[in-house]
């Protein structure tokens, strides 16, 4: 199947353009609807009445400050902000491409073991460092209780798309970012003219997001930073009568809220999306969902968004997020996504 991509262009928001210029891989998914061939409908073989074609779009990061150098044997070798590292990668089932000498150049290796594993850093590796996304500055950090370091590079196609939803409306349209982590999407949206409410159950993650806002020189931008369990916050917002023109959701497979609430995506995501429907204003523009569950499907994202936006019109796009391995056509699939856009959004 064809893979198409165009050059990287920069608009006045400081981020590379997204539409038509990111790499997109389209898969044709055939959904057959069956009917009975005989008049009586008894003891007859079903035949194909018609076929619907659904596009599954694979969005590939081209963020210049992140490089996937190699992957395989359950590991990935990557570099971000000039720091080369090795982490486990459950989706890398194939063999490595580069020799051990290249992997040994990593200055940080995440070792599995215990509850979350630990980072092993060499003498030349910083524990904290910075990188940039357009005009944004982002703080990165190795933490012993996580193999993450503050940013998910595969999300960059979404950040570009968000930047293109630029608005100069007054008052600013409202965007709710649930499970917002360290706030990259929140900063991009605020930079594009949105009034942002950022929600995450982790106090350190929210503090990290505030720090990113500060070092990016964006303290004047309207971002509310909320430490709360996402479903709890949504229920309270419904009672308050608050509404939003856009909602982002990037839920983990499992998680705990600040008051001990337990999140399980298979059980809790559908009810949360149904509740989010009540937060959408009559001028709602979009809902963007990302799911990292390995045994799910982007069709699942479509079904969930279809259910939660029923009657609103608009359209739904679905697909995967991936990283391209440097020097090859190999894609490392990392996430599923779905996006509902209201009628005014095309």
Cβ atoms of 196 and 222 within 8 Å: the answer is: yes
pLDDT(6) > 80: no
What percent of the chain has pLDDT above 90? 75
pLDDT(154) > 90: yes
- Rounded Cα–Cα distance for residues 169 and 167 (Å): 6
Q: What's the whole-number average pLDDT of the chain?
A: 87
DSSP letter for each residue of 206-244: HHHHHHHHHHTT-TTS-EEEEES-HHHHHHHHHHHT--B
Mean pLDDT of 140-154: 94
Q: How far is the first Cα of the chain from the last one, in angstroms, to the nearest whole number? A: 26
The per-residue pLDDT for range 281-292, each reduced to its tens digit, is 999 999 999 999
**What are the chain's domains?**
66-126 (2.60.40.1180), 130-345 (3.40.50.150)
φ, ψ for residue 319, nearest 5 deg = 170, -155
φ, ψ for residue 345, nearest 5 deg = -95, 5
Considering only 95-104, 107-116, 141-150, 199-208, which range has the smallest mean pLDDT? 107-116
Cβ atoms of 290 and 321 within 8 Å: the answer is: yes
For the sheet with 83-88, list strands across it. Answer: 66-72, 75-80, 83-88, 108-111, 118-121
- Rounded Cα–Cα distance for residues 57 and 135 (Å): 28
pLDDT(155) > 90: yes
Mean pLDDT of 292-310: 89
- Three-class secondary structure of residue 67 per DSSP: strand
Beta bridge partners of 30: 53
The per-residue pLDDT for range 227-258, each reduced to its tens digit, is 999 999 999 999 999 999 999 999 998 888 88
- The pLDDT assigned to 45 comes to 52
- Rounded Cα–Cα distance for residues 7 and 4 (Å): 11
DSSP 39: S
Q: Reply yes or no: is the peptide bond before residue 19 cis, omega within 30 of 0.
A: no
Mean pLDDT of 24-30: 53
pLDDT(16) > 50: no
- The pLDDT assigned to 19 comes to 39
- The pLDDT assigned to 38 comes to 44
- The pLDDT assigned to 50 comes to 52
DSSP letter for each residue of 143-169: -TT-S--S--GGGHHHHHHHHHS----
User: For tokens 């959904």, what's the residue?
Assistant: 31
Quote the strand ranges of the chain, DSSP E: 3-4, 23-36, 46-60, 66-72, 75-80, 83-88, 108-111, 118-121, 128-133, 136-141, 174-178, 195-200, 223-227, 246-249, 254-256, 262-264, 286-291, 315-324, 331-341
Q: Bigger pLDDT: 309 or 343?
A: 309
Find how far residue 207's CA is from the centre of its chain.
20
Instruction: Please state the pTM of the whole predicted model.
Output: 0.85
Q: Whats the size of the chain, residue-wise?
A: 346
- Rounded Cα–Cα distance for residues 112 and 84 (Å): 18
- The pLDDT assigned to 18 comes to 41
pLDDT(178) > 70: yes
pLDDT(217) > 70: yes
């Amino acid at each position: 199947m064809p893979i198409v991509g165009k050059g990287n262009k920069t608009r006045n928001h400081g981020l590379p353009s997204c539409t038509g210029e990111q790499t997109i891989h389209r898969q044709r998914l055939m959904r057959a609807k069956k009917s009975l061939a005989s008049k009586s409908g008894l003891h007859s073989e079903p035949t194909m009445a018609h076929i619907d074609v659904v596009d599954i779009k694979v969005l590939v990061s081209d963020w210049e400050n992140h490089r996937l150098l190699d992957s395989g044997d359950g590991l990935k070798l990557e570099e971000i902000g000039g720091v080369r590292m090795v982490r486990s990668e459950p989706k890398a089932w194939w063999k490595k491409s580069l020799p051990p000498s290249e992997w040994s150049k990593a200055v940080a290796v995440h070792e599995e073991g215990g509850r979350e594993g630990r980072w092993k850093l060499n003498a030349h590796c910083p524990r904290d460092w910075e990188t940039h996304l357009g005009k944004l500055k982002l703080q990165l950090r190795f933490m012993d209780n996580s193999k993450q370091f503050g940013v998910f590079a595969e999300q960059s196609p979404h950040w570009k798309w968000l930047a293109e939803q630029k608005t100069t409306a007054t008052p600013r349209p409202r965007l709710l970012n649930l499970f917002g982590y360290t706030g990259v999407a929140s900063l991009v949206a605020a930079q594009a003219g949105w009034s942002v409410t950022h929600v995450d159950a982790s106090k350190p993650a929210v503090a990290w997001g505030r720090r990113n806002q500060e070092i990016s020189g964006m303290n004047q931008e309207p971002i509310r930073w909320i430490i709360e369990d996402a479903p709890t916050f949504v229920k309270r917002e419904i009672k308050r009568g608050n509404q939003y023109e856009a909602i982002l959701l990037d839920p983990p497979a499992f998680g705990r809220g600040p008051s001990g609430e337990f999140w399980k995506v298979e059980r809790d995501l559908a009810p949360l999306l149904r509740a989010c429907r009540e937060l959408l204003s009559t001028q709602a523009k979009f809902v963007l969902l990302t799911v990292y569950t390995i045994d799910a499907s982007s069709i699942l994202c479509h079904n969930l968004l279809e259910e939660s936006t029923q009657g609103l019109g608009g359209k739904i796009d679905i697909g995967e997020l991936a990283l391209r391995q440097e020097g090859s056509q190999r894609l490392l699939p990392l996430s599923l996504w779905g996006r509902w856009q209201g009628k005014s959004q095309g």
